[in-house]
Amino acid sequence: MVHISAGCAALAGAIVLKRRKSHLENIESAPANIPYVLIGTSLLWFGWFGFNAGSALAANGLAVSAFATTNTAAAAAGLSWMFFDVLKGKKPSVLGFCIGAVVGLVAITPGAGFVSIASSIFIGVISAVISNVAVYYKSKSTLDDVLDVFPCHGIGGMVGMLLTGVFASKAVNPAGANGLFFGNASFFLTQLTGMAIVVVFSFGMSYGIFKFINFILPLRVSEEEEELGLDASQHNEKYLDPPVAAYNFEQEAFTA
């Protein structure tokens, strides 16, 4: 629900803020630093074990199961995103794998302690493909969600919540419930109802809050500040190129 709420809030914010100049002019921004993306994804992946496996509140079999499903879903989603890009005629990329892995982590979170490892593979694959398609159609729309928060976190969370209602098994967690796949349609309907409530509440409240704040204090910066960059215009933080060190043979030392 956390990611569904975040995704819907991001959707509301993007609608209220409207499109950037670069988006209107179809100017694409390349990823700034792929190694940093890898480091960030690795830290997220590692930290995800803490609250998925840690939710068992003990070092027991259920914690191990949640750990394994979390890792498996993320890996399956990362690979699925990358290979799905290949099927669409794009080149496989580390960036695509990282995006897919995060989608898989988002999707498995609701059911980490309730689904089997085999089911977690399906959750990872299905969530990655659906989010990948959502990103594609978002890129063709006028929605300026620059970080793809809604198609990745929002829709990824929705898919994960619904698939928990499909693949949940009491054989994995006796305290839970069987899902649709195991003959319990009522649990799937419960998940569907819960998802609908979260989507409507999160989007509606977020939209109202953004509108109210925008009325009191406009959220959009000026066109000049947008072109300059928010780091510089809003925080006075400017990127300076590091000096290039050169070797001075007379002084026998490196000089900037």
Cα distance between residue 237 and residue 101, in whole Å: 31
Q: Which two tokens stand for residue 87?
A: 């099927």
Cα distance between residue 44 and residue 41, in whole Å: 5
Three-state DSSP at 254 gives: strand
Contact 161, 202 (CB under 8 A): no
Q: Which two tokens stand for residue 82?
A: 């990358």
pLDDT tens-digit profile, the chain (256 residues): 789 999 999 999 999 999 988 888 887 777 778 999 999 999 999 999 998 999 988 999 999 999 999 999 999 999 999 999 999 999 999 999 999 999 999 999 999 999 999 999 999 999 999 999 999 999 999 999 988 999 999 999 999 999 999 999 999 999 999 999 999 999 999 999 999 999 999 999 999 999 999 999 998 888 888 888 888 888 887 765 554 444 454 555 545 5
Cα distance between residue 31 and residue 181, in whole Å: 40
Domain with CATH 1.10.3430.10 in the chain: 2-220
Contact 213, 219 (CB under 8 A): yes
> Domain 2-220 classified CATH 1.10.3430.10?
yes
Contact 152, 8 (CB under 8 A): no
pLDDT at 206: 97
Residue 254 pairs with which residues in a beta bridge? 247
Contact 113, 66 (CB under 8 A): yes
pLDDT at 228: 81
Cα distance between residue 138 and residue 117, in whole Å: 31
Cα distance between residue 157 and residue 47, in whole Å: 18
DSSP-assigned letters across all residues of 27-60: -----S-HHHHHHHHHHHHHHHHHHHHGGGSSSS
pTM (whole model) above 0.75 = yes
